[in-house]
Amino acid sequence: MIIAIDGPSGSGKSTTAKAVAKALAYTYLDTGAMYRAVALGVLRLEIDPFNDERVAKVVNNMAVSFRGEDVFLNGDDVSKIIRYEETSKAVTPVSANPAVRELLVEKQREIAADHDIVMEGRDIGTVVFPNADYKFFLVADPDVRAMRRLKETEEDLSLEQIKADLLRRDKRDSSREYSPLKKAENAIEIDTSDLTFDEQVDKILSCIQTKEPKHGGK
Ligand code: DC
């Protein structure tokens, strides 16, 4: 079973997807963390993230892996550092690079091959798994999204800075040529602006019929 959860940053995707995976006892995969890890790898090699050719040359030598929810780049736990502002900026051009997308999409399909999975990202329901069993597209008001990010960040950033970054990424993610952020035609759209966390999770779980329903674990 494949459950695709897409949407922009701060829409509640990650926390919701994690809780849905836990409630169903499915594997959880944060594909944004994979793009972030590659972007960090590019920065560590002191390569300009906008230099598509150079990025394409090095991406095949980067090993991105997971242990639970922790993400590793070439064996190094990068779970925290990939969330910092510097990587957040670099991930936009890196994730628009077709060579990066090709490699990571292949890896995402491999990971899902033998698992029931909840996979979250931008293009899971449109490109990675157009035939996913369930597709959800989460949206929320930009002010709400920025406030959520502010609560999460350990960096000294203002609400305005965070909101500007979100809107900048939305624009780039939605207008890029390859796999832009967009709702799959048959995805269920959920506006999380006024929903509590439990309500978001329950809304999704109520749509899903598993072969053997599992309960609890939220
Ligand atoms: O979900 P996130 O904000 O951690 O994602 C980081 C970046 O990666 C985001 O700017 C868009 C990109 N991304 C993508 O292009 N495709 C995905 N499936 C997941 C994330």
Residue of 16, 28, 59, 122 with the most ligand 1 atoms within 8 Å of its CB, for mutation: 122
Query: CA torsion angle for 29, 35, 36, 41 (degrees, to 10)?
Result: 120
> Residues 177-206: what's their mean pLDDT?
93
pTM: 0.91
Q: What percent of the chain has pLDDT over 70?
A: 96
Q: Is 79 in the pocket of ligand 1 (CB under 6 A)?
A: no
pLDDT of residue 99: 97
Ranges 30-39, 103-112, 207-216: which has the least confidence = 207-216
Nearest to 75 by CA among 41, 25, 112, 124: 41
Q: Ligand 1 centre from 182 Cα, in Å?
A: 12
126-157 residue pLDDT tens: 999 999 999 999 999 999 999 998 988 888 89
Q: Is the pLDDT of residue 18 over 70?
A: yes
- How do beta strands 134-139 and 2-6 pair? parallel
Q: Is 135 in the pocket of ligand 1 (CB under 6 A)?
A: no
Band of pLDDT at residue 3, cut at 50, 70 and 90: very high
pLDDT of residue 28: 96
67-114 residue pLDDT tens: 988 999 999 999 999 999 899 889 999 999 999 999 999 999 999 998
Q: Is 105 in the pocket of ligand 1 (CB under 6 A)?
A: no
- How do beta strands 134-139 and 188-191 pair? parallel
pLDDT of residue 217: 43
Q: Ligand 1 centre from 167 Cα, in Å?
A: 13
Q: Is 31 in the pocket of ligand 1 (CB under 6 A)?
A: yes
Q: Is the pLDDT of residue 41 over 70?
A: yes
Q: Is the pLDDT of residue 207 over 60?
A: yes
Q: Whose CA is nearest to atom 10 of ligand 1?
A: 92
- Output the CA–CA distances (angstroms, integers) from residue 201 to 18, 125, 206, in the order listed: 9, 18, 9
Domains and CATH numbers, the chain: 2-210 (3.40.50.300)
Q: Is 35 in the pocket of ligand 1 (CB under 6 A)?
A: yes
Q: Is the pLDDT of residue 214 over 80?
A: no
Q: Whose CA is nearest to atom 14 of ligand 1?
A: 122
Q: What is the mean pLDDT of the chain?
A: 92
SS3 71: strand
Q: Is the pLDDT of residue 218 over 50?
A: no
Q: Is 173 in the pocket of ligand 1 (CB under 6 A)?
A: yes
pLDDT of residue 211: 57
pLDDT of residue 212: 57
Q: Is the pLDDT of residue 25 over 90?
A: yes
Q: Is the pLDDT of residue 216 over 60?
A: no
